[in-house]
Amino acid sequence: SSNNNNNNNNSSSSSNNAGAPTQGGGGGGGSMKLEEIMREQERQGEREREEGRRIAAKASAVVQSGIGARTWARMNSEEVNQILRLQNGMLRDAAATDVYFSMLLAKAGSRSNFSGPRIEGRTLKLSEALEGALGKPPPRDLRRPRQLVKIDSAAAPPPSEDAAKGQSEGAGPSPEEAEEESRNVPPTASALPRAVRVSIEDAMLHLLAVQDMDKIAFPSSQTRERRATVVRELHALLHVTPSKGCMPPDNFIPVAADSNTMTQASLSSDAFFVQLLLVPKGCKMLLRSMHLFDPQDATDVLCQMLRCLPPLAYLSATGKEATGIELLVQLLVKLVYSLDILRLTNVLQGLLAAYTDAGLHLMACTKLGALALAALLRRGHDEYMSHDNSQPSPQETTNLLAWAAVCSTLIRRFSGGLEGVFMAATQHAVTGLPPSIITDAEVMVDLLYELGANADQDQRALICRELASAALRTGNPQVQEQVTQLLQSLNFTT
């Protein structure tokens, strides 16, 4: 093994000596070859740099002439245009996505006008709705509605002699009319729905301001005073008429059973309140802000809503975009359960003063009216049930007796219309009312149960006799059997 190692070492040393340059005449030839290689590499680098400068100059000239004239190494112009078309097809509007570029243009003082890349002669331009909008459509302004019809002044009819005479005398338009004319608002447009929507938007701003102030952990006295002021302004935007002991205003006409009762309110403030509740956003705003009002303000809202139940029921069912009955019932229930039994007694007295007997019967024939009465009576019944296991105080006993007396008056006045309610719920026989607002059998059962829960034995017997008489007049044995089972399930005396 030692001999083999020696042989290997000798062979490797001989090979190394063979590759090394020899001293003397052979060393000069090796250095000349190395210099030639370095000069060739320098010439090659210079040629490559010159070629790069030439290609860059040609590319710059082609870029300035547009995408269509650009030459590509691996794709032709048709393939590039196809890729750009697919990318831009995924964007609904290229201007709407370029918010930052439009914002920079607006800060620089120039008008926002974004145009996308040119694709085969077609340019993506900013639409009229997005011009100057910083990439998003501007919201509608309720105080300055958009003009629907543009009428040329040349096509307008000539003024009449009276108008010309008035202009010659110097009688110009009022400031309000001049402002409306500058806004291009038609003079025949109804002002009430527009004023209602403006009030709703202002009330929403007040509600958001109150919510922001409620987030402060340790509010100062100025913040609390500001919050109370904002809440009062919010309540004023609702146009709620303050009630004197829950009684209707002096100029209020009691609700009767006629066509005007179902379509319009008797007072202007009631008409404004009805329109506000018929807008879904207004009703939701009122639901969200009820916890901000004190009991007296909530009582005023409930009294005004009960006075307006017939037009609310009719317009809610017939309006295309009106508030649904579910949202109105939710608001009613929240108002009813936010008051104590003493205030509810006053509310029920105000309800009896606002309706005639015929108007009370007509209101009960509507689904919204029957549900409102059932909610009021159920609240009183719950108050009775809360004192079953405890002895009420003298003041609570007085309040419960006052509630029972008002309920007795309500049942006595209402008992004469039970047959109409029964026929409306079972036969839908109410002339002049849309079928969608008439009460159904389920709502009638709820109302009868609450009437019986707040009635004495004599009144229960009276209700039983009227329902049995109404079932006999139908001449339908099946209906008579159902009424008998209903009275037995309600624990009414026969």
pLDDT at 192: 66
pLDDT at residue 231 greater than cutoff 90: yes
Q: Which amino acid is at 441?
A: A
pLDDT at residue 223 greater than cutoff 60: yes
- Residue 347 — very low, low, confident or very high, per pLDDT cuts 50/70/90? very high
pLDDT at 4: 47
Most trustworthy range by pLDDT among 147-151, 155-159, 230-234, 413-417: 230-234
Distances 165 to 162, 169, 332 between C-alpha atoms, Å: 5, 6, 56
Query: What whole-number distance in Å separates Cα of residue 206 and Cα of residue 289?
Result: 10
Distances 144 to 127, 148, 179, 194, 205 between C-alpha atoms, Å: 21, 12, 10, 10, 18
Most trustworthy range by pLDDT among 1-5, 105-109, 239-243: 239-243
Sign of CA dihedral 288, 203, 240, 265: negative
Tell me 486's DSSP state: H
Distances 31 to 19, 28, 35, 454 between C-alpha atoms, Å: 15, 6, 6, 123
Query: What whole-number distance in Å separates Cα of residue 298 and Cα of residue 348?
Result: 14
127 and 106 in contact (C-beta within 8 Å)?
no
Residue 442, both tokens: 């389920």
pLDDT at residue 185 greater than cutoff 50: no
pTM for the model: 0.62
Specify the range with the lowest mean pLDDT, choosing from 33-37, 125-129, 141-145.
125-129
Average pLDDT over residues 65-89: 71
pLDDT at 202: 92
Question: Which of 450, 441, 462 lies closest to 376, judged by CA?
Answer: 450
Q: Determine how many CB atoms are found less than 10 A away from the CB of residue 415.
A: 16
Chain mean position to CA 25: 100
- Residue 237 — very low, low, confident or very high, per pLDDT cuts 50/70/90? very high
pLDDT at residue 91 greater than cutoff 70: no
Average pLDDT over residues 348-368: 90
Rounded to 5°, the CA angle 467-472-474 comes to: 100
What is the percent of the chain with per-residue pLDDT over 90, rounded to a whole number? 25
Query: What whole-number distance in Å separates Cα of residue 466 and Cα of residue 444?
Result: 14
Query: What whole-number distance in Å separates Cα of residue 239 and Cα of residue 277?
Result: 12
149 and 157 in contact (C-beta within 8 Å)?
no
Torsion of CA 487, 306, 200, 204, to 10 degrees: -70
pLDDT at residue 353 greater than cutoff 60: yes
Q: Determine how many CB atoms are found less than 10 A away from the CB of residue 196.
A: 22
303 and 350 in contact (C-beta within 8 Å)?
yes
pLDDT at 7: 47
Query: What whole-number distance in Å separates Cα of residue 143 and Cα of residue 182?
Result: 12
Beta strands in 115-214 (DSSP E): none
pLDDT at residue 206 greater than cutoff 90: yes
Residue 264, both tokens: 């319009």
Average pLDDT, the chain: 75
pLDDT at 469: 86
pLDDT at 338: 92
367 and 437 in contact (C-beta within 8 Å)?
yes
106 and 136 in contact (C-beta within 8 Å)?
no
- Residue 484 — very low, low, confident or very high, per pLDDT cuts 50/70/90? confident
All residues at 6 or more sequence positions from 450 whose CB lies less than 8 Å from its CB, including other chains: 373, 374, 377, 378, 381
pLDDT at 465: 85
Q: Which residue has the higher pLDDT, 231 or 78?
A: 231
Q: Which amino acid is at 341?
A: I
DSSP 282-340: HHHHHHHHGGGS-HHHHHHHHHHHHHTHHHHHHHHHH-SSPPPHHHHHHHHHHHHTTS-
Query: What whole-number distance in Å separates Cα of residue 488 and Cα of residue 494?
Result: 8
pLDDT at residue 449 greater than cutoff 70: yes
279 and 196 in contact (C-beta within 8 Å)?
yes
Query: What whole-number distance in Å separates Cα of residue 17 and Cα of residue 28?
Result: 18
Sign of CA dihedral 166, 168, 171, 174: positive
Specify the range with the lowest mean pLDDT, choosing from 143-157, 197-211, 266-280, 366-380.
143-157
Classify 141 as helix, strand or coil.
coil
Most trustworthy range by pLDDT among 13-22, 133-142, 397-406: 397-406
Using the structure block, give the residue that is written with the tokens 């609390």.
224
Sign of CA dihedral 43, 48, 51, 53: negative
274 and 308 in contact (C-beta within 8 Å)?
yes
Question: Which of 304, 291, 303 lies closest to 231, judged by CA?
Answer: 291
Specify the range with the lowest mean pLDDT, choosing from 119-128, 339-348, 408-417, 428-437.
119-128
Query: What whole-number distance in Å separates Cα of residue 261 and Cα of residue 359?
Result: 8
Distances 228 to 200, 201, 217, 218, 404 between C-alpha atoms, Å: 19, 19, 17, 16, 36
Q: Which residue has the higher pLDDT, 102 or 135?
A: 102
- Residue 148 — very low, low, confident or very high, per pLDDT cuts 50/70/90? low
